[in-house]
């Protein structure tokens, strides 16, 4: 004679796990919009990898820039942030044109260039020094307002060990122990 109890028990556990996962996801989503969060935004879609050989930080024509799809993506990201943030954020950007354009299209207020957000993809030897400078800057910055940092994948990964997609936001918060913790991720679309 076969017993059907184990199947029933398995289905009960599955339902419990799904509802607890859903509850956990909602709690995480709620914390993504706290005023003490730091939002690390990888610039919107800019086809290619790295920068062209004759890259000049002062000339956008020499850089890899946002595509039309990237501009549309930045508009959607800005709308999502405006609809969810409780306070107007401070917005800082890498000096790369694709980051500055993403930050401006977000339409969240004044964008301040912050050189420590510049990519070190072509100069990987700067990774440790630049990441330390960014950590120091974050600890010195007033954390009573949300901060949006528009930067590059390598910078976000060096700080968080998360590899974000173009237009993805990695949400972090400072800890009482003097470090950072990843609170969650906001997908681009």
Q: For the residues 136-144, what does the mean pLDDT come to?
A: 82
At 12, the pLDDT band (50, 70, 90 cuts) reads very low
Backbone angles phi, psi at 90, to 5 degrees: -90, 130
Instruction: Express each pLDDT in 77-87 by its tens digit.
Output: 999 999 988 88
Beta bridge partners of 39: 148, 171
Contact (Cβ atoms closer than 8 angstroms) between residue 182 and residue 162: yes
- Residues listed for the chain: 189
First to last CA, the chain: 52
Hey, how many other C-beta atoms are within 10 angstroms of the C-beta on 78?
Answer: 20
Six token digits for residue 103: 């930050």
* CA of residue 101 relative to chain centroid, distance: 16
| Structural domains of the chain in order of their starting residue, each with its CATH number | 31-186 (3.40.50.1240)
Looking at per-residue confidence, does 17 or 83 come out higher? 83
Percent of the chain scored above 70 by pLDDT?
Answer: 83
**What is the rounded (10 degree) CA torsion for 41, 43, 48, 50?**
-80
Packed helices 68-84 and 97-106: angle between N→C axes, nearest 10 degrees: 40
Quote the DSSP letter at residue 184.
E
**pLDDT 10s digits, 147-177:** 999 999 999 999 999 999 999 999 999 888 8
What residue spans of the chain are helical by DSSP H? Answer: 5-31, 68-84, 97-106, 127-140, 153-160
pTM exceeding 0.75:
yes
């Amino acid at each position: 004679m076969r017993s059907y109890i184990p199947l029933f028990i398995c289905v009960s556990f599955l339902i419990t796990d799904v509802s607890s996962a859903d509850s956990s996801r909602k709690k995480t989503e709620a914390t993504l919009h706290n005023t003490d969060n730091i939002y690390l935004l990888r610039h919107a879609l800019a086809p290619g990898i790295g920068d062209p050989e004759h890259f000049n930080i002062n000339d956008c024509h020499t850089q890899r820039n946002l595509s039309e799809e990237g501009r549309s993506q930045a508009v959607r990201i800005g709308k999502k942030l405006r609809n969810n943030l409780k306070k107007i954020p401070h917005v800082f950007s890498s000096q790369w044109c694709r980051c500055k354009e993403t930050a401006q299209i977000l339409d969240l207020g004044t964008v301040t260039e912050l050189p420590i957000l510049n990519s070190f993809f072509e100069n990987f030897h700067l990774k440790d020094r630049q990441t330390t400078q960014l950590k120091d800057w974050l600890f010195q910055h007033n954390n009573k307002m949300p901060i949006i940092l528009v930067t590059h994948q390598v910078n976000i990964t060096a700080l968080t060990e998360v590899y974000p997609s173009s237009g993805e936001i990695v949400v972090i918060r400072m800890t009482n122990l003097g470090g950072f913790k990843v609170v969650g991720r906001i997908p681009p679309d």
